[in-house]
Structure 1
Amino acid sequence: MKIKTVTEKVMNTVFFACGIVAIACVVIITGYMLYAGLPAIFKIGPAKFLFGTEWASTAAEPKFGILPFILTSVYGTAGATLIGVPIGLLTAVFLSKVAPKKLANAVRPAVELLAGIPSVVYGLIGMMVLVPFVAKTFNLANGTSLFAAILVLAVMILPSIINVSETALNAVPPEYEEASLALGATKMETIFKVSIPAAKSGIAAGVVLGIGRAIGEAMAVMMVAGNVANMPELFTSVTFLTTAVSKEMSYSAGLQREALFSIALVLFCFIMLINFLLNALLKHKKGGR
């Protein structure tokens, strides 16, 4: 009995320590981002930095407006989400509720393989296959564009959405579906009106993970987006927040380097805001029931 009590105390201590480490990492990262990113924002001016439309960090008179990067990241993430979420959710429904067990067991490793492919491979395939296809299909001089980046990101977020959504759907108590079928609902009605609403928290978690990967991706979009600081249009070369940091950090210095940390801070705030809004929306809907 005493050994069991000691073991429980030890494990509780271990769990508590792990939780503290996780919280401490978030606090340290947040503190460092604020420490490194805020000075440049105040030096440049918050309005000029956030709403300026020109980025010329190496010019004789440098300009540090990141509005094109912000809008590109927003449009790119939104486009990838609009394409990837329906496909990912329907694939998860197929694997969890519709497909025969043997077929589901054959498809599931392919989805897991997508999650394991390095970003640079997605970028390479996009650069060699997708970019020429976009240029030829839409009669463009250059296929590197926001559209190509959206398609690559849409594919990259699928594994996160599919895996988490399928797990959430599998966790729905079978009694819910049995009761719906017993009341005369069809299988499809049961899936879309019972199973998916019951698993919405898990599905939302998958969507958040997918959005986080889309907005934080750098290497793949760097290879297909063109990396030009243009205001975003669907078939023009653009620069994302992530690629703005990664392409200049190696040779940056002084205010330019500080501005890159400021861009990283803006990106960090975006991800935090998305998590907060989705969690607040889920809690509001849950409380409204």
Structure 2
Amino acid sequence: MEIDINPRSSSKIADSLTKSIGLLSTFTIWVLIVIFFGYIAYKGIAGAFSYGFKSLFFSLDFDITNNKVSFWAPFGITIFLALLTVLISIPIALRCSIWINFYCPTKYRKLISTILLILANVPSVVLAFYIRRYISPVAHKALFLNTSSNLVVAAIALVCMILPLIIVLFNSVLENKKSWIISAELLGLDKNYAIHKIVIPKIKHTIVIALSLVVGRVISESIMLSMLLSSENYQQSYGNGFSGFINSQSNSVSALIGENYFSDGSSEDVQNLMFLFGGLIFLVSLTFNTFCMEWVKMDREKVNNTSKISFFKKAKDKINWWILCCLFSSCKEWENNECSTGDFIHKAQTKNLKTFFGLIRRGLEFLCLGLFVLYAFSLPITVLIGGIKSFVSDASFVPSQNDTLFRAINNTFLIVLLSILFAAPIAFFASCYVSEYLSNKRFKKYTLALINAAAATPSIIFGIFGLFVFIQTLGWTASGSSGKSLLAGMLTMVLFILPYLTHSFYTYLSGISDNYRESSYILGISKCRTFWKILLPIAFNNLVFSVLLTTGKIIGETAPLYLTAGLNSAPKTLFMYQGQTLTTRIYSQLYESNLAKSEKIINETTFYCLLFISVIVIIAKYGLGILSYEFWKKKFQSFNFLVH
């Protein structure tokens, strides 16, 4: 007896099933994020009442033992680091990106893009040890600093961390602007002049986005800064003048949270205070990002008014003209009406007055490029040399011991695999529902805002949330509420990557042209088949790329894992026992008394950490063709052809 299944009926069932799973996934994300933010607010309010609003917001004294806990003291350090990082990183990144897109041979650009992605995913704990060993002594002598660990060195470390990511951001915009340069050159304009006068003003929105990205990363960074800065004596930092301030070792807000929450004997009031500080820096970061995005949106909608010139534009033009008058006599003669406009233009063309600023720009480009190339090559070379030295000596790759490299690799891949398996399906179906099925615009707006807010939350906040909920409250460890466990670390990482994955998936799915959807619906194809048969194959490579980058993100995280999974490993890999990962293995060497052993462990672990991240990035850049939907579809079609 044959059962005739109506194709339309099966299509409706599939459509209803996809929509229901997507709705359930979206609801799950809403519940998790609301609980997360609600709990932070609850603990933060408790901390505020414990220490008092006067001590928190109307004082500049900081001494936890005496209940003096001014938020402005560590926040001032954070603002200074953010400002210094912005002033250094964005100009260097912009000039490096200009060279890559307009002067570098095309055949090398994909290789440079791969190197940039690898550097952008270097764990902060690896970068911190690199800065401590090589950059800090050089900066100490070259910049005439009093100490080798200070705010200037911390800002340099933040620049090294954020610079590759900003260059990637600028590259994604500038690679589509080459036609403007060609048009300008056809009109007789100099290439360098066209880049700085035509292209750069057109990407000001991207520069503002880069600004928000830099500030957000600086505010949220905790592990690297806690390894470079270790003081809470803010009164001494602010009281010794500017020189004493930049040479101080005072912690930023995020680094302060990690140190005080993880320190032995920290009271419940101190822990609540750290939740409050975490919530405050989250609000600051969210407010600044919102302001930047709204400014970009308003500027795009604003009608250009050529009759009005801003005050800053006038001031800039006057300064430029004053410099030219000081350097070239023809400019002064024209200003005093001693020569005609025609003669001035002739002299300008023959004497090449424009090349003055052009030479300065080119010189700055080569200087910035040289600094970045020095960092880009020195980091992997030093890691490689250190790894080779550790392999020549007695290896610690022994599975039978507790704290071994083998066990750290095993724990890392276990957390990565399970976190992706839990988070990716929820993020995929939620992004599918929001992109294709959710018709309520207000609810869609709130959902995206909630996801973006969670994605911008510092990782240290997820760490202290996971520590309290999964360990101190639920006791999901073999030692109860006083222990650590791989399960708690894995669940914390699921919460951490879920908003990021959902945002990435939604961006790629919603970015597909509506022409595909409209054409499919006109032909009578259901929404479900349109998504699975048309939209998903188009976005498949980008979705896999997001998963691979998320894998690198998990490998590089330290703060959420050292608070929940611990710094040591149990004799066996069990979910209810603690287990160090690659990054927490590196971080644990701060507490190792045997310096020779510590040096060797750092060298071998950083080598493997960078190796795994490099492999992931190379697969993402060069191996997606093999992983693509169309590749395997053709393979199966050819196999069926051979069989039949």
Is 2:617 the partner of 1:275? yes
Distance (whole Å) between structure 1 residues aligned to residue 397 and residue 534 of structure 2? 43
Deviation of 1:266 (Å)? 0.7
Q: Please give the secondary structure, in 1, of the residue aligned with 2:393.
A: helix
* Distance in 1 between residues matched to 2:497 and 2:373, nearest whole Å: 26
Counterparts of 1:114 and 1:257, CA distance in 2 = 37
Aligned partner of 1:2 among 162, 167, 188: 188
CA distance in 1, matches of 2:513, 2:581: 42
Q: Does 1:201 align with 2:387?
A: no
Give the corresponding residue for 2:573. 232
Residues 23 and 98 of structure 1, relative CA distance in 2, 3 Å threshold: farther
State the alpha-carbon separation in 2 of the partners of residues 176 and 87 from structure 1: 25
* Structure 2 Cα separation of the partners of residues 82 and 132 of structure 1: 25
1:32 counterpart = 2:382: yes
Q: What stretches of structure 1 of length at least 5 have no aligned partner?
A: 57-64
2:596 maps to 254
Give me the whole-angstrom Cα distance separating, in 2, the residues matched to 1:19 and 1:201. 31
Specify the alignment match of 2:464 in structure 1: 124
The alignment status of 1:178 with 2:528, answered yes or no, reads no
Distance in structure 2 (CA, Å) of the matches to 1:197 and 1:216: 30
User: Do the aligned partners of residues 93 and 4 (structure 1) sit closer, same or farther apart at CA in structure 2, a change above 3 Å counting?
Assistant: farther
Structure 2 CA distance, aligned partners of 1:279 and 1:6? 30
Distance in 2, Cα, partners of 1:232 & 1:8: 60
Shift of 1:21: 7.0
Answer yes or no: is the 8 Å Cα contact 1:161–1:209 preserved in 2.
no
1:170 to partner: Cα distance:
1.8
TM-score by length of 2: 0.39
Report how far residue 94 of structure 1 moved.
2.4
Match of 2:531 in 1: 191
Corresponding residue of 1:157 = 497
Structure 1 Cα separation of the partners of residues 455 and 560 of structure 2: 14
Structure 2 Cα separation of the partners of residues 264 and 126 of structure 1 = 26
Cα pair 1:146 1:234 within 8 Å, conserved = yes
Contact 1:96 1:170 in 2 (8 A): yes
Instruction: Provide the TM-score with structure 1 as the length reference.
Output: 0.83
1:4–1:92 distance in 2 versus 1, CA, 3 Å: farther
1:146 aligns with 486
Instruction: Describe how 1:50-129 pairs up with structure 2 within 5 A.
Output: 50-55=397-402, 65-99=404-438, 100-129=440-469
Partner SS, residue 283 of structure 1: helix
- Identical positions, percent: 18
Question: Residues 96 and 27 from structure 1, CA distance in 2 versus in 1: closer, same or farther, beyond 3 angstroms?
Answer: farther
| Counterpart amino acid of residue 578 in structure 2 | S
Larger Rg: 2
Rounded to whole Å, the distance in 1 between the matches of 2:604 and 2:478 is 37
* Runs of at least 5 residues in structure 2 that lack an aligned partner in the other structure: 1-186, 201-360, 635-644
Structure 1, 223-232 or 18-27: larger mean CA deviation: 18-27
User: What amino acid sits opposite 1:91 in the alignment?
Assistant: A
Supply the AA of the counterpart residue of 2:421. Answer: L
User: What is the Cα deviation at residue 22 of structure 1?
Assistant: 6.4
For 1:170 and 1:177, the matched residues in 2 are separated by 11
Q: CA deviation at 1:130?
A: 1.6
Q: Report the Cα distance in structure 2 between the residues aligned to 1:182 and 1:42, rounded to whole angstroms.
A: 67
Question: 1:148–1:34: structure 2 CA closer, same or farther, 3 Å change rule?
Answer: same
Secondary structure class of the residue paired with 1:135: coil
1:188 alignment partner AA? C
User: In structure 1, what is the Cα distance between the partners aligned to 2:597 and 2:494?
Assistant: 34
Quote the Cα distance in structure 1 between the aligned partners of 2:478 and 2:589: 31
Structure with larger RCO (C-alpha < 8 A, sep 6+): 1
Counterpart contact for 1:249–1:257, Cα < 8 Å:
no
Task: Summarize deviations over 1:210-237 as a string: whole Å, max 9, x none.
Answer: 2122111111111111333223222222
1:42 lines up with 2:384 in the alignment: no
Distance 1:127 1:67, change over 3 A: same
Q: Is the 8 A contact 1:53 1:66 kept in 2?
A: no
| 1:162–1:206 Cα contact (<8 Å) kept | no
Whether contact under 8 Å (1:249, 1:260) holds in the other structure is no
Aligned residues: CA RMSD? 2.9
Deviates more, 1:2-11 or 1:24-33: 2-11
- Specify whether residues 232 and 5 from structure 1 end up closer, same or farther in structure 2 by C-alpha distance, changes over 3 A only: same
Q: 2 CA distance for matches of 1:200 and 1:158? A: 18
**Aligned counterparts of 1:183 and 1:190: Cα–Cα separation in 2:** 10
The answer on 1:211 being equivalent to 2:551 is: yes
Q: In the aligned structure 2, how far is the partner of 1:66 from the partner of 1:139?
A: 23
| Superposition deviation, residue 200 in structure 1 | 1.6
Over residues 1-31 of structure 1, what are the superposed CA-to-partner deviations in whole Å (9 max), with x where a residue is unaligned? Answer: 33464533566998x9788876664433211
Shift of 1:187: 1.0
Shift of 1:245: 1.0
Which deviates more, 185-194 or 122-131? 185-194
CA contact (8 A) 2:485 2:578 kept: yes
